[in-house]
Chain A
């Protein structure tokens, strides 16, 4: 019986193993191999062992870009958490029969391409956009102010784009929460805040961890939003990597940067999970 079960499991896992192997693992190995190669002047690569590509990353210019990108990703994650937690909490505990409809609304933006949504912000924040018109209508400003093509616009766009990735895991974590625990806290004399801080929040930590990782990883590699909403005034790690493959035609350096970004993300996430505790993740 046990054998039949594992065979069935193997059959079920085969497609995903094949998929990940072909479209994730193999390309990843290519990138690692390329990162030790030597780039041709017009693209292309000669494989070999050339660790020089990695030394290039230690150029202060590039280090600064990597640090800045992580900083913006961290800020995006924090903003998503501050906005997303109350939202998920509200939907779970106050949503009642609207709960499913509300969580569906969180997902609605996914029906439209990220690019179109980012571009919508260009229109909204533009000189003649709704945001500026409203400010003038309310008498807060006299004329159009610069909202678009600013660092704040980039942060707004990133937070907007990745918010659902924070809300959904939080919703999943809070939804399983046994309301009787809250009642028990109340019965034992805890105030609402105390109940939240000592009962509800700790039990929702797996959702916080999952949400933070889901927001932080894609934000670290983001390059479209900084270009569209920031007017390409800054370079992010994502821009830098893209640039190596297209403009500079330095595939080896581009690959080395990708590997470094991947390793740094992995280390950051492991550190984060250690700090918050793996046991809590298992509850998710």
Chain B
């Protein structure tokens, strides 16, 4: 799931279309912006008062880290990554020094299998009780031992309702020749194959060669209709400025666009769509595991959780934070999902050996 730097600075640069990509590529270079608000250092205690937080860029509220520093005296260093794959490659290279990381669902499964993350000590995270019931026993961490959810969202279609009218809850519009050259898909193998698979009523996690080939054939048919394959943050300003009529995007980008341009709408198509979750984990060999547990516990606090989602425009997995989510956000279409919609969402899992088949086929689609 490639959710590149999004949000705040895009809002300031938005209209010009100077979107996230450039900045995110810069941001993925080690960028140690130490944020020591209050009285850092301090000594005492068994662990040095330091925490290294490795997160997606622009994915934490402005007050979150400074407030944590004030409360605990732990100095927080933030670095940013731009894709799950970058994150994994860094951890596998070893010696990163990161204490808290934020991988997406399927990547948590890969990290558990690759033995790069450690089990969490839930007794140090009393706020884990705030996490919604829907996070119990998910496929990527079946016993909820290694991860706790940070933010979640859906993947759907952001479109210009004023130009093309209300779209049906379906993936078909993205294959409609009427919108030729006015649409984009995510530059993300699993999400874009997901759209084709969902549309055919298949599972996003299929490893069946025949089904994958059928999905690839559908995507080849679709390609001539597309303006391109974009990251969600790239597609957002294009739809918002009217350059595109329709874009396959992550929900947070859609809500950001919706809050600025009332002509737009966001749809979570039938018969299925992706529900993804980003999670907090502690890498093996983290130097400050106690501080890491404290930080995770702090993030799962009701107030912090609400602040976080009010900033990112993504959904909170924190049941206690739900009542404090901004009404303006809750009123956006697709933010609060009725149970019937939530039920039909699918979670992308690690396809194991089939990963290479997916990648080869996406290369084939793009080369067609």
Q: B67 on the interface (CB 8 Å rule)?
A: no
- Let me know if A248 is at the binding interface, CB within 8 A: yes
Looking at chain B's contact residues, the main secondary structure is: helix
Q: A149–B228 contact, CB under 8 A?
A: yes
Task: Decide: B367 and A128 in contact? CB cutoff 8 A.
Answer: no
Interface string of A112-156 (1 = CB under 8 A from B): 010110110011001111000000000000001010010000000
Contact with A along B335-368 (1 / 0, CB 8 A): 0000000000000000011011001100110110
A184 vs B242: C-alpha distance when bound (angstroms): 62
- Interface segment, A39-47, A86-94, A188-196, A266-274? A39-47
B17→A128 contact, CB < 8 A:
yes
Among residues of B, the one whose C-beta sits closest to the C-beta of A64 is B367
| Given A42-B114, A246-B85, A123 and B355 contact (CB-CB distance below 8 Å) | no
Give B206-239 as 1s and 0s: 1 = Cβ < 8 Å from A's Cβ atoms: 0000000000000000010011111000000000
Q: Interface residues of B, CB < 8 Å — how many?
A: 40
Q: Is A17 an interface residue (CB 8 A)?
A: no
CB-contact partner of A41 in B181, B227, B352, under 8 A: B352
Q: Are B367 and A65 in contact (CB under 8 A)?
A: yes
Binary contact readout B16-29 vs A (1 if CB under 8 angstroms, 0 otherwise): 11110110011000
- Knowing A116-B22, A119-B21, A231-B228, the reply to whether A61 touches B88 (Cβ < 8 A) is no
Which residues of the other chain, A, contact B243 by a CB distance below 8 angstroms? 126-128, 144
Q: Count residues of chain A with CB under 8 A from any CB of chain B.
A: 39
Which one of B189, B241, B356, B364 lies within 8 Å of A61 (CB-CB)? B364
Query: What is the bound-complex CA distance between A42 and B114, given in angstroms?
Result: 7
A249 within 8 Å of B (CB atoms): yes
Known contacts A127-B242, A231-B226; 7 additional CB pairs below 8 A are: A42-B114, A227-B187, A228-B21, A232-B230, A247-B85, A247-B355, A249-B355
A123 to B10, CA, bound (A): 14
Instruction: Find out whether the CB atom of B86 lies under 8 angstroms from the CB atom of A246.
Output: yes
Determine if B110 is an interface residue (Cβ-Cβ < 8 Å): yes
Contact status B89-A115, CB under 8 Å: no
Q: Which residues of A contact B228 (CB under 8 A)?
A: 149, 230-233
Partner of B89, one of A43, A127, A144, A233: A43
- CB-CB < 8 A to A149: which residues of B? 227-228
Q: Give CA–CA (A280, B87) in the complex, Å.
A: 49
Q: Tell me if B113 counts as interface (CB < 8 A to partner A).
A: yes
B18 touches A119 (CB 8 A): yes
Is B184 part of the contact surface with A, judged by Cβ < 8 Å? yes
Partner of B230, one of A231, A235, A240: A231
B22 close to A231 (CB less than 8 A): no
Complex: how many Å from CA A250 to CA B357?
A: 11
